[in-house]
Amino acid sequence: MISDEAFDRLTYLRSVQPEAIAAAAKARRKTSVAEVVAAGDLFLIAADHPARAALSVGEDRLAMANRRSLLERLATALDHPRVDGVLATADVIEDLLLLGLLDGKLVIGSMNRGGLAGSAWELDDRFTGYDAPHLDAMGFDGGKMLLRIDPGDRDTRTTLEAASRAVTDLADRSLMAMVEPLPARRTATGAVTISRDADDLVHAIAVASGIGATSAHTWLKLPVVDDIERVVATTTLPCLLLGGDPGGDPDAKYEGWQRALQIPQVHGLVVGRALLYPEDGDVRTAVKRAAQLLEGGRHD
């Protein structure tokens, strides 16, 4: 839990001492992706959903809207020694910095959040978050971009071009470029849906692997689907598994992660809502259970 005193201090600093954010980033005890990976698989907590107006978890449309609740859930997750860091937008990362929760943790900044959930331009996913120069200046470890690919929607090309530039810009600074390729389609009503068909994901991975002037620092963030072994065989790039919505059978989700973690290209988990908003509300136990899947590397 975050105490009233700590939360009041956070809001006070934000209102009267904004320079405290840069100072906290400079003072943060740092690690590196290379150091963490040398010791075992990565385990990151994702919390970049709100900036894309994606606040829902299951049937609750505003589950992620309460910022103090989100921060408390993140604090619980980050407290586990096996959690290596966070993936989030600037507002969330800066809250965590001011709360002193990111010492010794990896920090991945979310870059394109302009494809607002449910919007007419959702697939024209503009880069409205971090850029490579600011990630580098803050001493962070990389940037993440969402790359939804719909061959029937012209907006995909805009996102694809912007993502290509971002991959190059990050690589020029030796920062991780975390790319999340997802095959997308619009339904008859105009809603964007994500295909879980293995062949569709193979095509998306093939495209994402080749964007930018170099793939030397590119990692892929992938959903666990049927025939995941064949899907991951599309690339030699290091891959991380995403979590998705907490809905469905939680045991099946953990089993899917465990199976996919045996694939050589897979190097860990990047999970958000499935661990921060589990159906039983027990964040600590959900994180612990996910951490146990990674015990082939480091141990608690």
pTM of the model: 0.96
> Residue 296: what pLDDT?
57
Under 8 Å between Cβ of 96 and 86: yes
| Section 212-230 average pLDDT | 97
**Residue 59's pLDDT band (cuts 50, 70, 90):** confident
**Within 13 Å of residue 119, how many CA atoms lie on the same side as its CB?**
15
DSSP state of 216: T
What confidence tens digit (pLDDT) does each residue in 168-204 have? Answer: 999 999 999 999 999 999 999 999 999 999 999 999 9
DSSP state of 100: T
In 22-68, at which residue ranges do the beta strands (DSSP E only) sit?
42-46
What confidence tens digit (pLDDT) does each residue in 65-75 have? Answer: 999 999 999 99
> Residue 78: what pLDDT?
98
Under 8 Å between Cβ of 172 and 212: no
Under 8 Å between Cβ of 180 and 146: yes
What domains can be seen in the chain, in order of their start residue?
A: 4-292 (3.20.20.70)
What confidence tens digit (pLDDT) does each residue in 103-159 have? Answer: 999 999 999 999 999 999 999 999 999 999 999 999 999 999 999 999 999 999 999
Under 8 Å between Cβ of 55 and 61: yes
| d(C-alpha 109, C-alpha 141), whole Å | 8
User: What's the chain's average pLDDT?
Assistant: 95
